[in-house]
Amino acid sequence: MRPETLAIRTQIERTAHKEHSTPLFLTSSFVYDSAEDMAAAFADDSLDVNIYSRFSNPSVDEFIQKICLLEGAEDGIATATGMAAVSACFMTFLSAGDHIISASAVFGSTHTILTKYLPKWGIEFSYFDMNNPEMIETLIKSNTKVLYVETPSNPGLDIIDLTYVSLICKKHNIIFIVDNCFATPAVQQPILFGADLVLHSATKFIDGQGRVLGGVVVGKKELIKQLYLFVRNTGPSLSPFNAWILSKSLETLFVRMEKHAENALYIAKQLEGHPSLNWVKYPFLASHPRFEIANQQMKNGGGILTFELKAGIEGGRKFLNSLQWLSMTNNLGDSRTIASHPASTTHSKLSEEERKAVGITPGLIRLSVGLEHPDDILEEIKNALSK
Whole-number pLDDT of residue 46: 66
Mean pLDDT, residues 191-213: 98
CA-to-CA distance for 126 and 148, rounded, in angstroms? 10
3-class SS of residue 214: coil
CA-to-CA distance for 306 and 326, rounded, in angstroms? 15
**pLDDT at residue 177 is higher than 80:** yes
**pLDDT at residue 268 is higher than 90:** yes
- What digits encode the pLDDT tens for the residues 71-122? 999 999 999 999 999 999 999 999 999 999 999 999 989 999 999 999 999 9
Whole-number pLDDT of residue 189: 98
- What digits encode the pLDDT tens for the residues 219-230? 999 999 999 999
- What digits encode the pLDDT tens for the residues 19-67? 999 999 999 999 999 998 899 888 877 668 898 999 999 999 999 999 9
Mean pLDDT, residues 253-282: 98
**pLDDT at residue 184 is higher than 90:** yes
CA-to-CA distance for 150 and 306, rounded, in angstroms? 16
What share of the chain in percent tops pLDDT 70? 98
Give the pLDDT band (50/70/90) at residue 270.
very high
Give the pLDDT band (50/70/90) at residue 354.
confident
Least confident of 34-38, 144-148, 168-172: 34-38
Mean pLDDT, residues 201-208: 98
Mean pLDDT, residues 237-253: 98
CB atoms within 10 A of CB 46: 6
CA-to-CA distance for 158 and 130, rounded, in angstroms? 7
Planar angle of CA 341, 345, 346, nearest 5 degrees: 100
What DSSP string describes 108-153?
Answer: HHHHHIIIIIHHHTT-EEEEE-TT-GGGHHHH--TTEEEEEEESS-
Mean pLDDT, residues 159-172: 98
Task: Put the strands of the sheet holding 175-179 in their side by side order.
Answer: 75-79, 215-219, 197-201, 175-179, 144-150, 99-103, 124-128
Task: Put the strands of the sheet holding 327-328 in their side by side order.
Answer: 277-281, 304-309, 364-368, 338-340, 327-328
Give the pLDDT band (50/70/90) at residue 330.
confident
Whole-number pLDDT of residue 387: 87
Mean of the per-residue pLDDT values of the chain: 95
3-state per-residue secondary structure call for 24-58: CCCCCECCCCCHHHHHHHHHCCCCCCCCECCCCCH
Whole-number pLDDT of residue 47: 62
Question: Of 365, 361, 366, 362, whose CA–CA distance to 333 is shortest?
Answer: 366
CA-to-CA distance for 368 and 152, rounded, in angstroms? 13
Q: Write down all domains in the chain, each with its CATH number in brackets.
A: 3-252 (3.40.640.10), 253-386 (3.90.1150.10)
Backbone angles phi and psi of 61, in degrees to 5: -60, -40
Whole-number pLDDT of residue 61: 97
Give the pLDDT band (50/70/90) at residue 344.
confident
